[in-house]
């Protein structure tokens, strides 16, 4: 299913032009308009799923292999030495377009730090308590 008001539905299905680097029956991979680094790409399913929780397993199973394929091609073609696969779910997590997408972000030696956080230092008790809390919802 597609959603009329969704820009990524329109891009994924070719109604809005994009710099496409890969396409098959289910996915289109495009360059991000606001790249974090040269070659930053987005893997878009051609059907509308709001986030990873809405993505069926049959689709989800294809996303990581596709991310690996795109990342390997970037290393060969762009000369990046690594890449990040990043996938945001929910506004608090940085999701701004509510159509599932996976970022493939090339990383270059001496390039800017892109995916980073400051580690906290929880106690073993805190970790055990948090683990139990999450397990209770699985
Ligand atoms: P999010 O923050 O939701 O994980 O990522 C959305 C990404 O989509 C951002 O990196 C943003 O630059 C990119 N983006 C938003 N609108 C467009 C668009 O119309 N075309 C392309 N190619 N990228 C877009
Ligand atoms: Zn959509």
Residue whose C-alpha is closest to residue 80's, from 114, 50, 122 = 114
Which of the four pLDDT bands, split at 50, 70 and 90, describes residue 131? very high
Taking the CA of 99 as reference, the closest ligand is: 2
101 included as an active-site residue: yes
Which of the four pLDDT bands, split at 50, 70 and 90, describes residue 1? confident
Question: Would you list the DSSP string of 52-86?
Answer: GGGS-HHHHHHHHHHHHHHHHHHHHHH--SEEEEE
Question: Would you list the DSSP string of 18-45?
Answer: --EEEE-SSEEEEE-SS-SSTT-EEEEE
7 lines ligand 1 (CB under 6 A): yes
18-66: per-residue pLDDT in tens? 999 999 999 999 999 999 999 999 999 999 999 999 999 999 999 999 9
pTM here is: 0.96
pLDDT at residue number 63? 98
Which of the four pLDDT bands, split at 50, 70 and 90, describes residue 2? confident
| Alpha carbon distance 45, 70 (integer Å) | 15
Enter the tokens of residue 93: 């997590």
pLDDT at residue number 33? 98
Once rounded to an integer, what is the mean pLDDT over residues 79-87?
98
94 lines ligand 1 (CB under 6 A): yes
């Amino acid at each position: 299913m597609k959603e009329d008001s969704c820009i990524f539905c329109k891009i994924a299905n070719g109604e809005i032009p994009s710099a496409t680097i890969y396409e098959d029956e289910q996915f289109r991979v495009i360059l991000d308009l606001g790249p974090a680094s040269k070659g930053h790409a987005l893997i878009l399913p051609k059907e509308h799923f709001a986030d990873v929780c809405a993505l069926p397993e049959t689709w989800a199973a294809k996303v990581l292999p596709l991310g690996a394929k795109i990342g390997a091609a970037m290393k060969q073609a762009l000369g990046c030495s690594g890449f990040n696969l990043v996938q945001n779910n929910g506004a608090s997590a940085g999701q701004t377009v509510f159509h599932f997408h996976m970022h493939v972000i090339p990383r270059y030696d001496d390039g800017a730090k892109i995916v980073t956080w400051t580690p906290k230092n929880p106690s073993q008790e805190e970790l055990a308590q948090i683990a139990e809390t999450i397990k209770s919802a699985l």
